[in-house]
Chain A
Amino acid sequence: MALKTFAGKAESVDFVNISSLAAVKPFASWGVYCIGKAARDMLIQVIGAEVETVTSLSHGSTIRALNYAPGPVDTDMQAEIRKNASIPEQRQFYTMMFETGKLVTPDATTAKLVRILEQGKYENGAHIDYYDDVE
Chain B
Amino acid sequence: MSERLFIITGSSRGIGKALTHAFALSNHFTSANTHFILTSTKQSDLDAAKASLEQVFASHHGNTDKLKVYTHPIDFSDMNSVETNLKTLFGLAHKTGGWKQVILVMNHGSLGGLEFIEDVSSNITQVCQPKCLIGANLDPFSIRVGGERTDPSVALCRCFSV
A-to-B contact residues, CB < 8 Å: 1-6, 9-18, 28-33, 35-37, 39-40, 42-43, 46-47, 50, 57, 70, 73, 75-77, 80-81, 84-86, 105-107, 109-111, 113-114, 117-118
Residue B161 is within 8 A (CB to CB) of chain A in the complex: yes
State whether A15 touches B29 (Cβ < 8 A). no
Across the interface, A5 reaches (CB within 8 A) one of B90, B106, B124, namely: B90
Quick one: given A40-B106, A40-B157, are A114 and B143 in contact (CB under 8 Å)? Answer: no
Quick one: given A39-B128, A76-B14, A110-B15, are A16 and B105 in contact (CB under 8 Å)? Answer: yes
State whether A118 touches B116 (Cβ < 8 A). no
CA distance A58 to B156 in the complex (A): 27
Closest to B106 in A: A17
* Chain B proximity of A48: nearest CB distance (Å): 11
Quick one: given A15-B104, A31-B124, are A107 and B18 in contact (CB under 8 Å)? Answer: yes
* Chain B proximity of A56: nearest CB distance (Å): 10
* Chain B proximity of A2: nearest CB distance (Å): 4
State whether B161 touches A2 (Cβ < 8 A). yes
State whether B101 touches A118 (Cβ < 8 A). no
Residue B70 is within 8 A (CB to CB) of chain A in the complex: no
Q: Please provide the 8 A-B residue pairs with the shortest distance between their CB atoms, ordered closest to farther.
A: A106-B18, A32-B112, A75-B14, A10-B99, A110-B22, A36-B157, A39-B130, A2-B160
Residue B132 is within 8 A (CB to CB) of chain A in the complex: yes
State whether B128 touches A113 (Cβ < 8 A). no
B-to-A contact residues, CB < 8 Å: 1, 5, 7, 10, 13-19, 21-23, 26, 28-29, 83, 86-87, 90, 95, 98-107, 109-117, 120, 124, 128, 130, 132, 134-135, 138, 141, 143, 145, 153-154, 156-157, 159-162
Quick one: given A12-B100, A39-B143, are A30 and B114 in contact (CB under 8 Å)? Answer: yes
CA distance A57 to B162 in the complex (A): 11
A sample of 18 inter-chain contacts (CB < 8 A) reads: A1-B83, A2-B160, A4-B134, A13-B102, A14-B102, A32-B115, A40-B159, A43-B132, A47-B134, A77-B110, A80-B114, A84-B114, A85-B114, A86-B116, A106-B17, A110-B19, A113-B22, A118-B26
Quick one: given A1-B161, A106-B14, A114-B26, are A32 and B120 in contact (CB under 8 Å)? Answer: yes
State whether A50 touches B106 (Cβ < 8 A). no
* Chain B proximity of A17: nearest CB distance (Å): 5
CA distance A5 to B102 in the complex (A): 11
State whether B106 touches A15 (Cβ < 8 A). yes
* Chain B proximity of A6: nearest CB distance (Å): 5
Closest to A30 in B: B114
State whether B114 touches A29 (Cβ < 8 A). yes
Across the interface, A15 reaches (CB within 8 A) one of B18, B115, B162, namely: B162
Closest to A6 in B: B102
